[in-house]
Copies of this chain bind each other. A is one copy, B any other.
Amino acid sequence: MLGLMQEWPLLCHKLLDHAAAQHGAREIVSRSVEGPVVRTTYADMRRRALKLASRLEADGFGAGDRIATLAWNTARHLEAWYGIMGIGAVYHTLNPRLFPDQIAWIMNHAEDKAVFVDLTFVPLLEKIAGSVKSLRRVVVLTDSEHMPETPLPGAVSYEEWLAEGSYDFRWRSFDENTAAGMCYTSGTTGDPKGVLYSHRSNVLHAVIAAMPDAMGLSARDVVMPVVPMFHANAWGLGQACPMVGATLVMPGPKLDGASIYELLDTERVTFTAAVPTVWLMLLRHLEETGGKLPHLRKVVIGGSACPRSMIARFQDDYGVEVVHAWGMTEMSPLGSLCTLKPEYAARAGDARLDVLQTQGYAPFGVEMKITDDENNAHPWDGRTFGRLKVRGPAVARAYYGGAGAEQFDAEEWFDTGDVAHIDPNGYMQITDRAKDVIKSGGEWISTIELENMAVGHPDVAEAAVIGARHSKWGERPLLVVVRKPDRDPSKQDVLAFLDGKIAKWWMPDDVVFVTDIPHTATGKIQKSVLRKQFRDYRLPTD
């Protein structure tokens, strides 16, 4: 027997409709690419998004079309998302930090028909547009005054193009499982893989993000998403903020410490989110200037592991709560957030930091387990680590085009490729990537933990650990080190530094010194390249 409740599909434009109806005068403040800080409201954004939707249809775009964006966080970018979704088309965020060839590959794979591009990225797009066969319209996110000369196909300034649209438009209606957005992951190996979000997954993810023990977003918050919209949906803030009616502050192209601080201060931002690198720059700026953060209440830090010292500084020096989070593009992206359950709420000092440096626990809507290679579940004992697998309504069930099918099993568990342990209270900590973890005689050794230890040595600039072949153990750890300038630590110095800090059987079998460790375009260590480089390395212990 079915219930007798309304069919009210979870559609993204309802988030903006709600914001316009209930929080219509609330502001979206943007640092524009042209320079000035500009202001709009949810009511105006909705009107313009409707107009944009009508304009897209006038251009012949419609349901299912992929419309790319290559843009910073601004109100224009966000209203473009809503306009695109409102006709059943798919916004496709491109990461400008990738190599131009990768971007072109991704656009061709997605068959993007149009692109909204910021002035900043016009030169980049000019390099690749010719090789994107599907592309027939380029909208430059600026006005006629700032519009550059460009040979891009169908190029027009956003404001001129939008002016030809009509406010008199109604959102198209469709199933809540209709595709809404698209984002490609940039792995360290292989081709990028596309994740295709649905309206339902975006709305449910917004709900998961906003809950009190997740981000805890309120209409009284002033939220600055420093994390880019091209980085896994700005962690859902573009949907969650209109849903709760929070003020949005969009930092545009300037992500340096001084520019971020200026907006935090003048706009009285209460909530912000970004990767650790951004906060390093901010903390350095605060240190140099003596700036304070009297308005800021909470900062969500994710994308890579947040250093313990950063949590302590925000908390102790600036009175700001840090929520350490973990997620993936494939998860929309939130997977876990480190807020305190009552079991931990009373902790202080180091004991509190011990909890806060974990990636936290999975909210309702994310199921989590850790397993061995044969899919047997590991206990949640805070020590045993295994492959981290997840399930939920905002988790991908496949990649666009069918790549990477081996990451999804028959019960829809998605293998994250991360390795983690989970404590008895559900707090998860990433210890490695599955393809990097070293399997020594059947036992797993975390390369990340070893690297974190090694970079603690005062003479070490960067460290990477890979598994080197060993005839008895299968693999043993090899520590690859870049020395600090004018320092000359020996193998014995480095190993002696690790002694006593790690289990004896985790001790690297050798240390090699190099001048450079290879990185991806987004700054991750390319261990696959290192492994290739040291494929024939003969360990002294073997």
Contact = CB atoms under 8 A, between A and B. Distances in A.
A95 to B, nearest CB: 19
A3 B201 contact: yes
Interface string A430-441: 000000000000
A98 interface: no
B399 A4 contact: yes
A199 B8 contact: no
Interface string A355-374: 00000011011010000000
Chain B CB within 10 A, most for which of A18, A210, A216, A218: A218
A4 B244 contact: no
A211 B64 CA distance: 32
Nearest to A212: B218
A472 to B, nearest CB: 39
Contacts of A8: 365, 391-393, 395, 412
Interface residues of A, number: 71
A447 interface: no
Given A5-B395, A245-B341, 10 more contacts: A1-B64, A1-B196, A2-B175, A4-B399, A5-B396, A6-B412, A8-B412, A15-B364, A26-B342, A211-B211
A45 interface: no
A21 interface: yes
A385 interface: no
A200 B8 CA distance: 11
A6 B178 contact: no
B213 A244 contact: yes
A400 interface: yes
A394 B5 contact: yes
A180 interface: yes
A117 interface: no
Contacts of A469: none
Contacts of A400: 4
Interface of A: 1-8, 10, 14-15, 18, 21-23, 25-26, 63-64, 90, 175, 177-180, 195-201, 207, 210-213, 216-220, 243-245, 247, 332, 339-343, 345, 361-362, 364-365, 367, 391-400, 412, 414, 426
B361 A22 contact: yes
A219 B364 CA distance: 12
Task: Please list the 3 inter-chain residue pairs (A to B) with the smallest Cβ-Cβ separation, ordered nearest first.
Answer: A3-B198, A1-B64, A5-B201
A212 B243 CA distance: 11
A394 B207 CA distance: 15
Contacts of A25: 343
Contact of A178 (B3, B15, B339): B3
B197 A22 contact: no
A30 to B, nearest CB: 19
B244 A212 contact: yes
A199 B3 contact: yes
Chain B CB within 10 A, most for which of A2, A179, A210, A247: A2
A341 B22 CA distance: 10
